[in-house]
Amino acid sequence: MAEYKRPKSEAEFNKNFKQKKPLMNDTEAYYESSRCLFCYDAPCIQACPTHIDIPLFIKQIHTHNVTGASRTIFDSNWLGNACGIVCPTGVLCEGACVYNHQDVSPIQIGRLQNYATNQSINTNKKLFSVGASNGKKIAVIGAGPAGIACACEARTLGYDVDIFEAKEKPSGLTVHGVAPYKITNEEVLKEVEYLQNQLGFNIKYNTNIKSKQELSALESKYDAIFLGVGLGITRDLGLDGENLDGVIGAVEFIEELKNKQHKLAVPDKVVVIGGGNTAMDAASEAARMGARKTVIAYRNTKEKMGAYGFEYDLAISAGVDSLFNVIPIAIVGKDKVEGVKFAKTELVNGKLQTNMNNTFIVRCDLVIKATGQAKQGSLYELIDALETDNKTRITVDGNTFQTSNPKYFAGGDAINGGAEVVNAAYDGKMAAQGIHNWLNK
Amino acid sequence: MVDLSINFAGIKAPNPFWLASAPPTNSGYQIMKAFDAGWGGAVWKTLGVPVVNVSSRYGSVNYRDTRMMGFNNIELITDRPLIDNLREIEEVKKYFPDHAVIASLMVESKAEWEQIIKDVENAGADGIELNFGCPHGMCERGMGSAVGQEPEVLETIVGWVKNVANIPVITKLTPNISEITDPGLAAVKGGTDAISLINTIKSIVGIDLDTYAPLPIVDGKGTNGGYCGPAVKPIAMHMIRELAQHPEISKTPISGIGGVETWRDVVEFILLGATSVQVCTAVMHYGFGIVREMEAGLRQFMEDKNYKTIYDFAGKALPNVTEWKHLNLKHKVIAEINADKCIGCELCYIACDDGAHQAIALSRDRTIRIPNIIEENCVGCNLCSLVCPVEDCITMVKKDDGKEHLTWNEKTLNDEIPVTFNDDRAGGKHHFVPKPTDALKHKQ
């Protein structure tokens, strides 16, 4: 059932994609920050992948030391502003807030964090300085959260840093892949600009490193290389009809949506294949673009979905329907997509099996595949002695983020197969320290 | 049936909730509005030779999400001509003949005192309150707390007043003094009919971090104000108790003032011997309607306890307020944590470890955040139960059998107290204290 009207203008688009975590005003921040208990060995700090001293920054906000709060946040997490907004705080810091144990609403940590960092960014407050130059250079491949974090940390340690980015904008999936109701591109880009103003790393856009020759050049010119390459395009499902017009990968769909906003035409009937957070985002977005019927189709039960419960609820509240225990077996249509043929699945002896005797077709005009992105395996093959695991994730040392090729370090989706911005931000920062320790051994 | 009416030193009122002499009683308009809202009495903003006031006048101490936990002002007595105030007193009494209207007064000479008393009596005031408490501005001119701090002067002026007054006289005391019983006794000797306290406490509520001026700021400068509001209630209660327990003062009715905002505050004041209460800050914060909660709460308390009038329980806490030396040293409580309610903030742990007696341990398994009380170290200080943010999660449980009773006083008489620096009878002699270097263990 359609809950949203088709957006015809930027204003209507913004209304349909209203921010889930709007910026707090001063009064909200004052009262919300007053509630923090300042727990000992606070569970929120432990739950944060970057271990931000959350009770400290909340107390700083409350005592009107917002600059100090912002410094506390960026000290642990270079993408502190973006993370305050896009982090799944309900399962991280806010999920760990002790108030939950007495059914008192947890502190809105993400929004408080954003309140502090936003002020520093908007006033271009200088919080960090470049370290004294040590004459060494680091190349970062990919200007996503991992790469940006690595660059920032390396600059404070005195390295020259060049980032090589395939696209024309920084921030990777934060710009291209995070749902517009979670964060605006403007918000993402201004944080990177703010960091770049202070720390002066270079980003070379539209520079896709993809050949052995290019890698060799980097190897000879730089003392260390950080791989923050993330994931690639959506994987093929290998279905008949997959190449028909009207079949698109979820990340590609979201990227196009974020670029074109209300100018993107989303047809009336949409099927989203997958059960992860990206599937929920894509479905929610299709519904918010005014699709009359959007259906999520997942091969297993609702409980088995990879998506967080709140992401599923958000999609449902946008008017999305769902089908469980169905697997696509073909995409049907002549010149363009006309539907998806599904088979029912069932659990037999603990294994999910497809019942080809029970098939049906769901009519639709657009199929969004949210079934995972391909890894950057072809790039990895070009790097000498670079080990990956059986899921094509780069293997790194857990503390130093060094790969099996000592000159290369890696972090973010390239090593975890796809996780949160905050994980990438942590990896990048730690990798810069890893590089520093390795070069100074 | 509960009867809230009082007869306070001859001043009758439908209930013990009075407005203190302050900005809310500046005019007949405000007092009529207050009586209409349910207040039983009002002490008119202090009358005298009218003053000239400054702008701004009030400052506050906010704590966490609470505004005006403490409040101060540098406003002086009335700045309105006496004749206007007298006319309005008359008018209020016409509309509310059964409510108490008390004229607060502050003048200098004997002749002025005699004249103004005659004036307010003619206007129909039910009583007089002598303002010997104002600790800002007026005291610089030899009035207010300047009088309250000089028991002999105070006694003399009370004497002048009592010589001419035909209506009851309440002497209002300043807390800016080391022994409240000194001016209290002087007031009684001067013949006062009742005492009210406390007036405000000399204070600086804040410094502006850009201009370095104290709050409230008057053109870049400031002065000490009079502190009041919820923060001063404990000081008021202590002083009320001191007067109520003094053998020569205890028969004089006490009107309690200082941080009263809720019915609980009212009951506590009455339990310590006050038989009327005066309120200012709560009204300046929430308006006259705040009295609804006080009245409903007081009635409920009295119904629950089966009291007909407030005199049935006035002073009931006094026998339990004693000197330290009479406390039972054999009484023993220790903390108990309710694991079902504990939310794992571990504030009790860190408060005890850093701020008290190292009697709470963290769980060895750090996935469990419910701390454990180390019974042998626990001295029953209450700190953990005070910092715990959960209702009724940490309770103090009685551990002694109640059979033994030994006070410091008795110990002294029995010659059992420690007398030398390293006396074996030191109370903490066998109490566990970690090694100093244990503080640095986490670095190893």
Residue B354's Cβ-side half-sphere holds a number of Cα atoms within 13 Å equal to: 8
Element (H, E) at B10: none
Neighbours of A39 (CB within 10 A): 23
Q: Radius of gyration over alpha carbons of chain A, in Å?
A: 23
Tens of pLDDT, residue by residue over B137-174, are 889 999 999 999 999 999 999 999 999 999 999 999 99
pLDDT at position A308, please?
Answer: 94
For residues A116 and A99, give the distance between their C-alpha atoms in angstroms, rounded to a whole number.
22
Kindly tell me if the per-residue pLDDT of A1 is higher than 90: no
Asked if A171 contacts A143 with a C-beta cutoff of 8 angstroms, the reply is: yes
Contacts of B65 in chain A (CB under 8 A): 30-31, 34-35
Q: Scan for tokens 């688009």, then name that residue.
A: A13
User: What's the gap in Å between the CA of B415 and the closest CA on chain A?
Assistant: 45
Contacts of A98 in chain B (CB under 8 A): 343-345, 369
Tens of pLDDT, residue by residue over B375-434, are 999 999 999 999 999 999 999 999 999 999 999 999 999 999 999 999 999 998 888 899
* Structure letter (DSSP) for residue A104: P
| CATH class of the domain whose range is A137-231+375-439 | alpha beta
For residues B309 and B330, give the distance between their C-alpha atoms in angstroms, rounded to a whole number.
37
Kindly tell me if the per-residue pLDDT of A150 is higher than 60: yes
Asked if A46 contacts A96 with a C-beta cutoff of 8 angstroms, the reply is: yes
Q: Radius of gyration over alpha carbons of chain B, in Å?
A: 26
Enter the CATH code of domain A21-122. Answer: 1.10.1060.10
Average pLDDT, chain B: 96
Whether A39 sits inside 8 A of B346 (CB atoms) is yes
Whether B343 sits inside 8 A of A43 (CB atoms) is no
For residues A213 and A384, give the distance between their C-alpha atoms in angstroms, rounded to a whole number.
12
Q: Scan for tokens 């001191």, then name that residue.
A: B242
User: What's the gap in Å between the CA of B210 and the closest CA on chain A?
Assistant: 13
Whether A35 sits inside 8 A of B65 (CB atoms) is yes
Query: What is the distance, to the nearest Å, from the Cα of residue B343 to the centroid of all Cα atoms in its chain?
Result: 34
pLDDT at position A2, please?
Answer: 62
For residues B237 and B299, give the distance between their C-alpha atoms in angstroms, rounded to a whole number.
21
The share of chain A scoring above pLDDT 90, in percent, equals 95
Q: Taking residues A224-232, what's their average pLDDT?
A: 96
Catalytic residue among B134, B228, B352, B381: B134
- CB-based contact (8 Å) between B361 and chain A? no
For residues B4 and B14, give the distance between their C-alpha atoms in angstroms, rounded to a whole number.
6
Q: How far separated are the first and last CA of chain B, in Å rounded? A: 70
Whether B346 sits inside 8 A of A40 (CB atoms) is yes
Tens of pLDDT, residue by residue over B302-326, are 999 999 999 999 999 999 999 999 9
pLDDT at position A177, please?
Answer: 86
Tens of pLDDT, residue by residue over A37-87, are 999 999 999 999 999 999 999 999 999 999 999 999 999 999 999 999 999
Q: Taking residues B4-28, what's their average pLDDT?
A: 98
Interface with A, mutate which of B343, B348, B352, B392 (most A CBs under 10 A) = B343
Q: Please choose, from the candidates B206, B54, B228, the residue with its C-alpha nearest in 3D space to the C-alpha of residue B214.
A: B206
Which residues of A lie closer than 8 Å to B, measured between beta carbons?
30-31, 34-35, 37-41, 43, 62, 98-102
CB neighbour class for A220 (10 Å; exposed up to 12, middle 13-18, buried from 19): exposed
Whether A62 sits inside 8 A of B64 (CB atoms) is yes
The answer to whether residue B348 is catalytic is: no
- CB-based contact (8 Å) between B343 and chain A? yes
Interface with A, mutate which of B67, B340, B342, B345 (most A CBs under 10 A) = B345
User: What's the gap in Å between the CA of B401 and the closest CA on chain A?
Assistant: 34
Tens of pLDDT, residue by residue over B117-137, are 999 999 999 999 999 998 988
Provide φ and ψ at B272, rounded to 5°: -90, 5
Domain with CATH 3.50.50.60 in chain A: 137-231+375-439, 247-369
**CA angle (B20 as vertex; B18, B24 as ends), nearest 5:** 100
**A vs B: CB pairs below 8 A:** 35
Q: Please state which of the ranges A174-188, A260-274, A396-410, B81-95 shows the lowest mean pLDDT.
A: A174-188
Amino acid type, B407: T
Q: Please choose, from the candidates B110, B23, B73, the residue with its C-alpha nearest in 3D space to the C-alpha of residue B288.
A: B23
Q: Taking residues B272-290, what's their average pLDDT?
A: 98
Contacts of A41 in chain B (CB under 8 A): 346, 362
For residues A383 and B32, give the distance between their C-alpha atoms in angstroms, rounded to a whole number.
88
Provide φ and ψ at A66, rounded to 5°: -70, -35
Please give the domain boundaries of chain B with CATH numbers for all domains: 6-320 (3.20.20.70), 324-443 (3.30.70.20)
Tens of pLDDT, residue by residue over A77-132, are 999 999 999 999 999 999 999 999 999 999 999 999 999 999 999 999 999 999 99
Residue of A nearest to B370 (CA): A98
Asked if A360 contacts A190 with a C-beta cutoff of 8 angstroms, the reply is: no
Dihedral over alpha carbons B99, B105, B110, B112 (to 10 degrees): -90
Q: Hey, what are A32's tokens?
A: 């919300």
Average pLDDT, chain A: 96
Asked if B116 contacts B50 with a C-beta cutoff of 8 angstroms, the reply is: no
The share of chain B scoring above pLDDT 70, in percent, equals 100
For residues A182 and A21, give the distance between their C-alpha atoms in angstroms, rounded to a whole number.
7
- Residue A3 or A431, more confident: A431
pLDDT at position B318, please?
Answer: 98
Neighbours of B304 (CB within 10 A): 8
Q: Kindly provide the ipTM of the predicted complex, given to two decimals.
A: 0.91
Neighbours of A245 (CB within 10 A): 11
User: What's the gap in Å between the CA of A109 and the closest CA on chain B?
Assistant: 16
| CATH class of the domain whose range is A247-369 | alpha beta
Element (H, E) at A210: none
pLDDT at position B1, please?
Answer: 86
* Structure letter (DSSP) for residue B423: -
**pTM, whole model, 2 decimals?**
0.93
User: What's the gap in Å between the CA of A424 and the closest CA on chain B?
Assistant: 26
Domain with CATH 1.10.1060.10 in chain A: 21-122
Whether A98 sits inside 8 A of B64 (CB atoms) is no
Asked if B96 contacts B150 with a C-beta cutoff of 8 angstroms, the reply is: no
The shortest CB-CB distance from B65 to any of A31, A39, A99 is to A31
